Structure 1
Amino acid sequence: MSAADLHPVLLHHVVNTLEWPGLRPLQEEAVTPILRGDDALLLAPTAGGKTEAASFPLLTRAANERWQGMSVLYVCPLRALLNDLEPRLDKYSGWLGRRAQLWHGDTTQGQRRKMLIDPPEMLLTTPESLEAMLVSTKVDPREHFANVRAIVVDEVHSFAGDDRGWHLLAVLERLEKLAGHPIQRIGLSATVGNPDELLTWLQGSEADSRPASVVSPDVAPAGGSSAGDVTLDHVGSLSNAAKVISLLHVGEKRLVFCESRREVEELARNLRERDVTIFVSHSSLSFDERRRTEQAFAEARDCVIVSTSTLELGVDVGDLDRVIQINAPGAVASFLQRMGRTGRRSGTARNALFLTTTDDGLLQAAGLLRLWSRGYVEPISAPPSPRHIAAQQVLALCLQEGRVGKHVWSDWWRGLSIFGDQAPEIVDSLVESLYLESDGQMLFIGPETEERFGRRNFMDLVSVFTANPEFTVIEGRQELGAVDPLVLTRKVEGPRFIVLAARSWEVTHIDWKRRRCFVEPSDVPVKMRWVGEAAPLSYSLTRAEREILLGEDPDVTISKRADSKLAEIRDVHAAEVAAHGSVILRAGGETHWYTWAGARANATLIAGLPGIADETQRPENSRIRLLGPEVVKKLSDALDSSDWSAVLPAVSPGALDGLKFSEVLPRDLATSTVADRLADRPGARAVASEPRVQVIGHE
């Protein structure tokens, strides 16, 4: 089979409507495995044509095999991405007399009723909306999903890396049982370090028995000078970054990524003060506000949009000229997504300019680009021990079915790995704690589930991520976004001001009961603290930072300012790195072991070294505080004798709050689940096996 096997109507429109000279290599090579019915993972950079590579052969199958009713699901992690895709997919579907429609949190009840009566052939949705349909009393899931033959999971790597991926897999297993036949699974992804493992993960319980194909013919090289025009610069502050951005590439469209909402707002305000046409996007802005700014940016020319990772995924913001990165993201994969926004026009190249504002930011950016230069991309790993998702799924199944047999509930997931050895213990605990009730051999929803999750038709039960309670910010009748309650409760002298959408606002009224904050525009310059903290760095990235300190450079253009600052940083940290092992440094009355292993590996090492490492310390990326020089002699013996596969980092009581559904698990299982996710045992094991160099510094 080949592209010629696509439906002739599709081929006609590719040539005459889209006016394409031909299909891209990915689109060509995806035809055969998808028409054959294989599960597949399609890999390509951003804007690499993955949507068409999946949808064209699926639409061909649907027409040739006369699929009836709602036969294709298209799942995305973001509503905004679904909204972008719907017109395009509906147009493609329409060529073959089919429809594509949206169903997510913004879909009105009237629209949902119409789709239940007359379902579209392709439904664009989220995992949470799929779950909501399964448990809804208004939907008959056996009828509604009876004809589903295939599912496309867009940005599958973003699902696989967190609990939404486990939730999606469990929901797919339930859908297959309801449909009574296999559902073809097609994942779309940017470059990842372990594509075969990612596809196996996507296949779920049937991975060993279903044909599968990874399609990645036109994935660009991950790193090196041939993969893009990348420059590393150091500017020292956000204010200086704004000055550089305002003077560089005037007349072009620039997308600037920051690593926090605080940086986004501060940089955007600085740019506005320099008369730059500026737009802002981050998760605390309302959906409508983000769509307005993204649409305005897409239609403008000489302008800048400043964003957190909200624009990292495939939401269309028009044709970009430049990507600028403030400091550095935490992963090469994120950088590739961001740089992939550029170089789409014929005759242009992918490009990225790093503007670092701190010493740590420069070191991290250099380490990241060192990894990228080597062609390294992080493997995508599903979070370990998803016991809380198993508990959520048992509750959701009881909602879906009304009653479920005590000894047959596990049949719905056919051995999916979220249901490990603790599954019976989890179900028994749900019954004991009255989240479930038992009547003879049947399980059904108990009073605690009704009390804890029953509001708004159990909507809190169908979402597996925890959203911080925030106050909606309103100007007049327009919703601007949201802020954390701490912003509104901190003591201030005089009027209270906040920053949102790159503007200052004076708070005029707070409705505490309804969690609303009313504001008016203000000219008062304000700096606002945003709640949240940086994620720990990985073992690979922290090790790359160590390489930079040891004198290695990334294969990118390095400005004179960055080169000079890197020399200073290397001098400052010279005693903390050694070419042939880790360093134990005594200085300032303290003893530190410089592992350069990342915070998770260091947390594991601390837990495995009682009486040697200070157990009260907060794990850092580069070092571990030891209990004094006298314990150094014990360190080698302890490292040699420790079984790192069994070590679990300590878990604070507050850490359980970040694990959705932790309260429905037995306390020990919830704690061990969080501990499993804080650990990096391979990293700890690698550091433990290295030679160690002792250095006595100044006391």
Structure 2
Amino acid sequence: MDAFAALHPGIRHHLVNSLRWDGLRPTQELAVEPILAGDDALVIAPTAGGKTEAATFPLLTAMAEQHWRGVSVLYVCPLRALLNNLQPRLHGYAQWLGRSAAVWHGDVGQSARQRILRERPDILLTTPESLEAMLVSTKVDPRVLFSGLRVVVVDEVHAFAGDDRGWHLLAVLERLTRTAGRDLQRIGLSATVGNPEQLLSWLQGGATSRAATVVSPPAPEAALPPEITVDYVGSLDNAARVIAALHRGEKRLVFVDSRRRTEELGAALRERGVTTFLSHSSLSAGERRRSEEAFAEGRDCVIVATSTLELGIDVGDLDRVIQIGSPNTVASFLQRLGRTGRRAGVARNCLFLCVEDDQLLLALGLLHCWASGWVEPITAPPAPRHIAAQQLLALCLQEHRIGGATWRQWWSLPDLFGADGDAIMEFLCAEGYFERDGEMLYIGPEAERRFGRRYFSDLTAVFSAPLEFLVLAGRVEVGTVGTDLLVEKVAGPRVLLLGGRSWEVTHVDWQRRRCFVEQVGSGGKAKWSGLGGGVSFEVARGMRSVLLGADPRGASPGVSLTKRAVPPGVTLTKRAAGALSELRSSHVDAVSPEGLVVALPPEGSGRWWTWAGTKANRTLQASLPGVVDPKQPMDERSLRLLPGIGPHEVSRALSNVRWRDPEVTPAALAGLKFSAALPRELAIRTLAERLGDPAHARSVCAEPRRVVRGD
């Protein structure tokens, strides 16, 4: 098929005359035929690789040629900011054919929503949470709004598939399919993933007769190799010094691992006269938008962000990406690296500024995996029983009642309810979440009590947000802060750091959860609660390989990681090379080419250096109570042994392992949203199955071991 010729004449005209394109990119060429044929598809390309156009141009062609009317394409994104960024572009493309695109999410006002309901756009952009809200709303008739729906496009599908938002999205799409009255074509847009066929199969959901096509042309040979530099700076203040001194005149995007560090680094850069903007989830939408727009229009400036800017939000043409510390996954690194090098003759680049020893080792282990060609497979979390409970309640809100014997007909997802569906339904009825009238079930008093606030708005999101206070400077929303900053003892005025600026607290309205502030010159603290992600088995093994002498491209152990041993495009500064040398010296009793090290000191407890990753070590800790100390903290690298344990006890225990799931604490259970709508034993089992990694734990037990006795 001639892909360009297959597009609608109006699109071809504007590609040549409006966009000044001389042809389609490889990804776009390959996507035209399967999408026009109605296949479910997964379109894979790096950031700024033209994925949006690869889906949109053939869909607009089908829309015009098949005379689709009303909302015929639903475009789902993980972030509101990404929706806001995409809508003008999609609307512009749609207008080439006299069509339109509109956005609907939590920040869209009632007047705009009413206009959408009156004058239905051809493309509707939304989030899964807003889609759920539309289905259960008393102000929206989903059977009218989605009567013409034909296609669902899921942008950044890899960002959904790896957590519960993905299960929620699939379940909502099943209900939407039945509401629309037809099978819906599903198209996913994704960055590079390690298992594209499995990801597409996951996106297809349950029973479908559609063909499935992965659109992933070979990556073109880069004109220039990526420029990756790893530096060790020792502190966040030193990182600010380096950023302020290097790359003057350039636009720099700096990634950090937390909102607190975003604020602290932003303040440190501003103190050094650097034009600095901030973006993180606790800033108000207006504050983030102003920062991102100002950065996009600027030149000599920095924007400091958490992973909120990792996805495809356009912040203009970047010169440089800087990473404080290291992300936990190769996929995140690739997303961030792909933000640069979009101009001809400019290489992709990333500067790692590691402020701690552990960060340096993680960065080098991750680079080892990346340069070896490995990227994480995207896998959905197992046993989404709490999502099943949420979906039953949401369906009842949508339909006003559900059949006690027919509710399963709404979903064809075997993994959603599994063997526990009947037990979940029985519990919901027994506990008063549902009331029964003959064969029909209605929303009961317990559901009203737990989730009924603001017409069940809490049911539309499957993640729990911690309790936070809205920060107001006059009538302007600055963002949100947790309660810790408002209750801890301070000497003198209470000053917050938010949006890179200092604010003195003038009043706290505890009942309405509002904090009123006035801007001051300097000082203040930033703090939010949250849990960091774990490290995978593969990245942990990459860290071990680096300590054994491998370079980031996976050279054999024994090769010194010096400038000569580093592959083209990867450079260690003198500081980083020195810090790595010290890491290797300090871990001499933690790694061995002969096997996994069991380090046994003359007194006290020993340590088993598994390098198995966070989840596998949790499984090992739970399954080896006779040798592994359950009270000692564990990480991705090692496990503490009980005092007095020797090599024979370790060998005997590993030969007779009784595999157990990791322990679930009450605090962890409280963090599993909708766990209250499950029988307690099912809720505990759901979380326990997600905390561990039994497959890698088993493989670690079978590996050779080397005992190292301390002096």
TM-score class, shorter-chain normalisation, is over 0.9
Deviation at 1:225, TM superposition (A): 11
Residue from 334, 337, 345 that aligns with 1:336: 334
Q: Work out whether residues 45 and 219 of structure 1, in 8 Å CA contact, stay in contact via their aligned partners in 2.
A: no
Q: Which residue of 1 aligns with 2:563?
A: none
Deviation at 1:541, TM superposition (A): 1.2
- For 2:430, give the aligned amino acid: E
Counterparts of residues 450-599 of structure 1 (less than 5 Å): 450-554=448-552, 555=567, 556-587=570-601, 589-599=604-614
Q: Which residue of 2 aligns with 1:602?
A: 617
Q: Give yes or no for the alignment of 1:7 onto 2:8.
A: yes
Q: Give yes or no for the alignment of 1:663 onto 2:682.
A: no
In 2, distance between residues paired with 1:184 and 1:416?
Answer: 20
Q: Give yes or no for the alignment of 1:38 onto 2:39.
A: yes
Q: Work out whether residues 259 and 308 of structure 1, in 8 Å CA contact, stay in contact via their aligned partners in 2.
A: yes
In 2, distance between residues paired with 1:417 and 1:170?
Answer: 10
In 1, distance between residues paired with 2:50 and 2:81?
Answer: 18
User: What secondary structure does 1:86 align onto?
Assistant: helix
Size of the aligned set, in residue pairs, is 693
Q: Give yes or no for the alignment of 1:122 onto 2:123.
A: yes
In 2, distance between residues paired with 1:593 and 1:397?
Answer: 49
Which deviates the most, 226-235 or 85-94? Answer: 226-235
Deviation at 1:227, TM superposition (A): 5.0
In 2, distance between residues paired with 1:226 and 1:656?
Answer: 49
In 2, distance between residues paired with 1:277 and 1:526?
Answer: 20
Q: Work out whether residues 224 and 346 of structure 2, in 8 Å CA contact, stay in contact via their aligned partners in 1.
A: no
Residue from 351, 358, 364 that aligns with 1:360: 358
Q: Which residue of 2 aligns with 1:132?
A: 133
- For 1:259, give the aligned amino acid: D
Which deviates the most, 359-368 or 582-591? Answer: 582-591
Q: Deviations over 1:629-658 (max 9, x none)?
A: 3354232233233364xx211111110111
Q: Work out whether residues 506 and 518 of structure 2, in 8 Å CA contact, stay in contact via their aligned partners in 1.
A: yes
Q: Deviations over 1:543-568 (max 9, x none)?
A: 11111111112232111111111000
Which deviates the most, 188-197 or 577-586? Answer: 577-586
Q: Which residue of 2 aligns with 1:697?
A: 710
Residue from 430, 433, 445 that aligns with 1:432: 430
In 2, distance between residues paired with 1:68 and 1:268?
Answer: 48
Residue from 432, 447, 450 that aligns with 1:449: 447
Deviation at 1:262, TM superposition (A): 1.9
Q: Work out whether residues 170 and 416 of structure 1, in 8 Å CA contact, stay in contact via their aligned partners in 2.
A: no
Q: Which residue of 1 aligns with 2:390?
A: 392
- For 2:357, give the aligned amino acid: D
Q: Work out whether residues 27 and 54 of structure 2, in 8 Å CA contact, stay in contact via their aligned partners in 1.
A: yes
Q: Deviations over 1:304-350 (max 9, x none)?
A: 11111110011110000000111100101001101101011111111
TM-score, normalized by length of structure 1?
Answer: 0.97
Q: Which residue of 1 aligns with 2:556?
A: none
- Which ranges of structure 1 fall in alignment gaps of 5 or more residues? none
User: What secondary structure does 1:152 align onto?
Assistant: strand
Change (3 A) 1:449 1:319: same
Q: Which residue of 2 aligns with 1:151?
A: 152
Q: Which residue of 1 aligns with 2:213?
A: 213
In 2, distance between residues paired with 1:245 and 1:425?
Answer: 56
Deviation at 1:528, TM superposition (A): 3.4
Change (3 A) 1:235 1:264: same
Counterparts of residues 155-170 of structure 1 (less than 5 Å): 155-170=156-171
Residue from 653, 659, 671 that aligns with 2:666: 653
Change (3 A) 1:519 1:349: same
Deviation at 1:527, TM superposition (A): 4.1
Q: Give yes or no for the alignment of 1:91 onto 2:106.
A: no
Q: Which residue of 2 aligns with 1:683?
A: 696
- Which ranges of structure 2 fall in alignment gaps of 5 or more residues? 553-566
- For 1:210, give the aligned amino acid: R
Q: Work out whether residues 240 and 265 of structure 2, in 8 Å CA contact, stay in contact via their aligned partners in 1.
A: yes
In 2, distance between residues paired with 1:597 and 1:629?
Answer: 23
Counterparts of residues 616-627 of structure 1 (less than 5 Å): 616-627=631-642
- For 1:558, give the aligned amino acid: L
Q: Deviations over 1:86-139 (max 9, x none)?
A: 111111111111110011111111221222222111101111111111111222
Q: Work out whether residues 484 and 527 of structure 2, in 8 Å CA contact, stay in contact via their aligned partners in 1.
A: no
Change (3 A) 1:225 1:9: closer
Q: Deviations over 1:211-262 (max 9, x none)?
A: 01000115468xx996511111111111111111111111110111111122
Deviation at 1:524, TM superposition (A): 3.6
Residue from 348, 356, 360 that aligns with 1:350: 348
In 2, distance between residues paired with 1:640 and 1:500?
Answer: 54
- For 1:63, give the aligned amino acid: A
Which deviates the most, 293-302 or 233-242? Answer: 233-242
Change (3 A) 1:182 1:285: same
- For 1:127, give the aligned amino acid: P
In 1, distance between residues paired with 2:59 and 2:541?
Answer: 43
Identical aligned pairs, as a percentage? Answer: 59
Deviation at 1:155, TM superposition (A): 0.4
In 1, distance between residues paired with 2:526 and 2:152?
Answer: 43
In 1, distance between residues paired with 2:20 and 2:608?
Answer: 62
In 2, distance between residues paired with 1:43 and 1:220?
Answer: 13
Q: Which residue of 1 aligns with 2:24?
A: 23
Q: Which residue of 2 aligns with 1:52?
A: 53
Change (3 A) 1:245 1:561: same
Q: Work out whether residues 600 and 619 of structure 1, in 8 Å CA contact, stay in contact via their aligned partners in 2.
A: no
Change (3 A) 1:68 1:408: same
TM-score, normalized by length of structure 2?
Answer: 0.95
Q: Deviations over 1:272-297 (max 9, x none)?
A: 11111111111111110000000000
Q: Which residue of 1 aligns with 2:82?
A: 81
Q: Work out whether residues 647 and 707 of structure 2, in 8 Å CA contact, stay in contact via their aligned partners in 1.
A: no
Deviation at 1:54, TM superposition (A): 0.3
Which deviates the most, 240-249 or 616-625? Answer: 616-625
In 2, distance between residues paired with 1:141 and 1:547?
Answer: 54
Deviation at 1:686, TM superposition (A): 1.5
In 2, distance between residues paired with 1:116 and 1:272?
Answer: 45
Q: Work out whether residues 43 and 219 of structure 1, in 8 Å CA contact, stay in contact via their aligned partners in 2.
A: no
